[in-house]
Chains A and B, each alone.
Chain A
Amino acid sequence: MGRDPAPATVVKPAAATGAQAAAAVLVATGVAWAAGERFVLLDLELSVRAGELLLISGHNGAGKTSLLSILRGAIAPARGQVTLAGVPLEDVAADYLANHIATLQHRPGLYFDLTGLENLALLSSLVNQPLTVTEASALLDRVGLPREAHQRRVRHYSRGMQQRTGLARVMASGAAVWLLDEPSTGLDPAGRETLSRVLRDAAAAGTAVLAISHDPELLALADRHLELRDGRLHEAA
């Protein structure tokens, strides 16, 4: 899942080198973030290692999605720092970040008026991982999207099919870090099984996977399970 050359100004993530399998790729140190007047995250510490499947859970409003936004560099923390392979996110070029951190959020990151295949072809090209039609089709097969849906517009997909296609987009990115927000949303049992398999394979291939989820199947699969509570991460019971 690793990819090649980084811009000269930034450091290549450990996962991409393959040299340090257990090295922390993404590290948050003393991160604090406030929603309005209220601090949601307080001096939060987190490290995600290459080849690790890390799950974070927490009650509604605990700040899980905000944490994910901070980790992917979409919002800056009020205090603290996030580093990608030792380099602060604010010093990492936007395209480099996009090439090395793939995200799946509440919206699937797809164009609704393009087909599943067209979406994968376009979005993989933008992160310098262009796919052929055969490769894109194989990826959609892997996430269990029915063949007849490959050439249908995403607008006509069910929520679960959109989620599967979004997952295929993340797989196509070749990123060293995956940040997934409730990836099993909308998936049927077969879909959740596929998701588990994909995440396990990705972690085995050296990808650092961080997922926010309450799905028991994923919790059972995780290398580590943390709970976000009172603005900090705790080892889950």
Chain B
Amino acid sequence: MTVARITWLLLKKDLRIAARSREMLGFTLLFAVLCVIVFAFGFLQEGAATAGYVPGVLWVTLLFSSSVSLLRLFAPEEEGGTLDLVSSTAAGTLPLFISKATMQLLFTGLVTVVVLPLVLLFFNTELKGFGQTAAALGLGLVGMATVGTLCSALLVHVRLREVLLPLVLYPTVAPLLISGVKVTSIALAEGEGTGDWLTLMLIFDLLFVVASPWLHGRALQR
């Protein structure tokens, strides 16, 4: 079987499990909404949340909520003991990595769709520079999903993974986070000069997209 065929089988399985259990998406969304609310109350000034915090709140909420879903990404395999079975396919470990990274991307994409309007609403801000913000979010989410999937896979058998995942993930995605906040700030202020930041994000994305599946394969080798 080809990589595409096995990937599709595994992705279909993950989508089916997610649709049935609903726990991963439900908890991630709930966590993200709570984050926004807490941030909104935390940044109150003269009775209103300050608009200048929107980029930071948006990206930090996405990063925090992506950690929540990453901690459960390999839960179906762990629970039933199928990790060995799905990581030794004829196409190696690549289909498993792609299917899991795609699932993570779908989850964080859905969270973004909910969180972005919520942040704008709570911080009473109008969305300007939609194209630039969308590009930054797209690049940021792809990078976070790929490197996040790698971290999640590396820590799947580690006892303190709830603690270790943020410690490994956050510094690794810091360049994406900083660039994403910068692009969103500039876009909301209708400014110019997002090109360099977006290029930087693209470079990190390429690095993560190439290196993560390779490292994942090495880590899962017998």
Are B84 and A98 in contact, with the CB atoms below 8 A?
yes
A135 at the interface (CB under 8 A from B): no
Contact pick for A106, options B20, B21, B81, B92, CB 8 Å: B81
Give chain A's interface residue range (CB within 8 Å of chain B): 20 to 34
B86 at the interface (CB under 8 A from A): yes
B90 at the interface (CB under 8 A from A): yes
What B residues does A154 contact at CB under 8 A? 80
Q: Per-position contact with B for A82-93: 1 when CB-CB < 8 Å, else 0? A: 000000011000
What A residues does B16 contact at CB under 8 A? 113-114, 118
Which B residues lie at the A interface, using CB under 8 A? 1, 6, 9, 13, 16-17, 20-21, 76, 79-82, 84-92, 221-222
Are B85 and A123 in contact, with the CB atoms below 8 A?
yes
What B residues does A111 contact at CB under 8 A? 13, 17, 76, 80, 82
Are B89 and A113 in contact, with the CB atoms below 8 A?
no
Once the chains are docked, how many angstroms separate the CA of A90 from the CA of B221? 10
What B residues does A95 contact at CB under 8 A? 88-92
Once the chains are docked, how many angstroms separate the CA of A112 from the CA of B81? 10
Are B1 and A125 in contact, with the CB atoms below 8 A?
yes
9 nearest A-B pairs in the assembled complex, by CB-CB distance: A107-B81, A98-B88, A94-B88, A113-B17, A110-B80, A95-B90, A113-B20, A109-B81, A112-B80
Are A122 and B9 in contact, with the CB atoms below 8 A?
yes
Are B82 and A109 in contact, with the CB atoms below 8 A?
yes
CB nearest to A122 among chain B residues: B13
What B residues does A106 contact at CB under 8 A? 81
Contact pick for A110, options B82, B91, B92, CB 8 Å: B82
CB nearest to A126 among chain B residues: B89
CB distance from A136 to the nearest CB of B (A): 15
Once the chains are docked, how many angstroms separate the CA of A73 from the CA of B86? 15
Once the chains are docked, how many angstroms separate the CA of A74 from the CA of B13? 24
Contact A74 B222, CB 8 Å, known A114-B16, A118-B16: yes
Once the chains are docked, how many angstroms separate the CA of A107 from the CA of B78? 9
- 8 contacting pairs across A/B (C-beta < 8 A): A95-B91, A97-B222, A111-B76, A113-B17, A113-B20, A122-B9, A126-B6, A126-B89
Contact A105 B81, CB 8 Å, known A95-B92, A122-B13, A126-B6: yes
